[in-house]
Amino acid sequence: MFDKRKIVLASLSPRRRELLALTGLSFQVDAGDYEEKMTSHLPPRALARRLSRGKAAAVARKYANALIIAADTFIIYRGEFLGKPHTAKEAVRMLRILNGGTHSVITGFTILDTATGKMTSRSVETRVYFRKLSSREILAYVRSKEPLDKAGGYAIQGLGSLLIRSIEGDYFNVIGLPLAAVAEALKDFGVFIL
């Protein structure tokens, strides 16, 4: 039965696709049509799990015998949710907020077996410590266009690495998929990466 079961990554994020590919798993991508709503009054980690469950469920309807892996990542700074900036002005604002401080990157992920209905949802939190940046550094980084469409306005795996003093926790979580936690959860579904 297992050889016929597909693995589907419910995300269009190229970063999540690259990370899951590191595991050597064979998978396909189907983002579905789930509309994220950040207006919930849930605590951040519970909200991340809820959003990932919604993404998994939206894709699961299309597959009879598949493992769906869905994730949602966002940033929390002093209780404020920071999503993805879509303009340079928004990116500058976000980077000024994060400048010299500490924030949390939270990813909720869900694995759903469409054949059995079995599902697990977990969340992972990583603390990120920004350096104190000058206005020139912030503007130069924003001019690189890397901050656009990245949670919090930076990419730790790119030029954004220069903004960061240190992290506590899973590096891959900051990119968008906590690989070790996902690999551990997949064991409960009969998928062993190592």
- Residue 70: give its domain's CATH number: 3.90.950.10
Please check whether residue 194 lies inside any domain of the structure: no
Whether the CB-CB separation of 81 and 38 falls below 8 Å is answered with: yes
Q: What is the pLDDT of residues 64-75, one digit of tens each?
A: 999 999 999 999
Please check whether residue 116 lies inside any domain of the structure: yes
Specify the pLDDT at position 104: 97
Mean pLDDT of 25-53: 87
Mean pLDDT of 149-178: 96
Provide the sign of the torsion angle of the four alpha carbons 36, 16, 182, 175, taken in this order.
negative
Specify the pLDDT at position 34: 74
What mean pLDDT is reported for the chain? Answer: 93
Number of structural domains found in the chain: 1
Please check whether residue 192 lies inside any domain of the structure: no
Please check whether residue 180 lies inside any domain of the structure: yes
Mean pLDDT of 169-175: 97
Specify the pLDDT at position 14: 92
- Asked whether residue 38 carries a pLDDT value surpassing 70, the answer given is no
Specify the pLDDT at position 2: 44
Please check whether residue 126 lies inside any domain of the structure: yes
Classify each residue of 21-41 as buried b or exposed e, where b means 16 or more C-beta atoms within 10 Å of its C-beta.
eebebebeebebebeeeeeee
Q: What is the pLDDT of residues 107-163, one digit of tens each?
A: 999 999 999 999 999 999 999 999 999 999 999 999 999 999 898 999 999 999 999
Place of tokens 């070790």: 180
Please check whether residue 43 lies inside any domain of the structure: yes
Please check whether residue 193 lies inside any domain of the structure: no
Closest CA to 94 of 73, 72, 75: 75
Q: What is the pLDDT of residues 90-104, one digit of tens each?
A: 999 999 999 999 999
- How many residues would you count in the chain? 194
Distance (Å, rounded) from C-alpha 145 to C-alpha 138?
11
H-state helical runs in the chain: 14-21, 44-60, 88-98, 135-143, 171-175, 179-187
Domain that holds residue 183: 2-187
Closest CA to 141 of 132, 154, 151, 128: 154
Active site residues: 72
136, burial (CB in 10 Å: exposed 0-12, middle 13-18, buried 19+): exposed
Name the pLDDT band for 1 (thresholds 50, 70, 90). very low
